[in-house]
Amino acid sequence: MKSNNRYLGAAMIAPFIIFVFLGGVYLKAFTFVLSVAALYEFYNAVHAKNFKPINIAGYILLLIYYFCNNNFEIMMYILVLATFILLIIPVMNLKYTFIDVALTILGFLYAGVLFSFVYLVNTKPSGAFLVWLIFIGSWLCDTAAFYSGKFFGKHKLCPEVSPKKTVEGSIGGMIGATVFSGIYGIIISRYTNVIPTYHYFLIGALCGIVGQLGDLVASSIKRYAGIKDYSNLIPGHGGILDRFDSIIFSSAAIFYYLTFIVGI
């Protein structure tokens, strides 16, 4: 039954691949939906520890962010104003505290904004090709880490956060992400030369590191909240944040790498 659930879950994830192929406004709309679901899961997780994030404020901020076409400069002004207003709420309603306000904003940034970098990478020059690095670097890192840990794992990586992860698995995951991203770069260089081939290897290595950190961050939040999965939305895989925890970190890392290192 568990195996069947995982197959069902994989089938539910498949539409995401279709939207990545479509790109543009279709990918933006779908990442918005995923952002809303992820934000819901994050707020539910912190509710489990009796915190009271102001959910509606997080959803409104997310809606404004996407309505402003993911404009960081405009969003910075709005976020400062929102912080100002939200900090007044605990003064007027003692049910809330400044910690609830902080978690409201953190949820918006972590579960909401980070997802948008999938779409933002897609908007880069040759973004239809570059966006796939997010998934190659993350998912193949996970696969390589699993088998490296299974056959060679002896030393625990972060036993208090994720007991099954090993140092050997982590190294194998980073190597796998680097190699497969590099191979992908060599192949697509026949169709686009927007960046030199060596950047694909470097981006793969970056994903191999950052993606695993994203996984550990999601695990640390779950461990603190005392939950096994963020939700049961995807059978056999958990919730959106369970399945895309490494993706959202990798997408942000790739966006910043392309923007500030490559300069596109």
Enclosing domain of residue 70:
5-261
Confidence of residue 10 (pLDDT cuts 50, 70, 90): low
The H or E element spanning position 49 is: none
Confidence of residue 8 (pLDDT cuts 50, 70, 90): low
Confidence of residue 1 (pLDDT cuts 50, 70, 90): very low
- Domain count for the chain, please give it: 1
Query: pLDDT value at position 2?
Result: 45
Backbone angles phi, psi at 28, to 5 degrees: -60, -45
Cβ density class 74-88: b for 16+ within 10 Å, e for less = ebeeebeebeeebee
pTM for this one?
Answer: 0.91
Q: Are 251 and 134 in contact (CB under 8 A)?
A: yes
pLDDT digits (tens, 9 = 90+) for 113-144: 999 999 999 999 999 999 999 999 998 999 99
**Six token digits for residue 231:** 């939700």
Tens-digit pLDDT profile for residues 199-223? 999 999 999 999 999 999 999 999 9
Helix 24-47 and helix 2-22: axis angle, to 10°?
140
Q: Token digits for 67?
A: 């309505």
Confidence check: pLDDT of 7 > 60: no
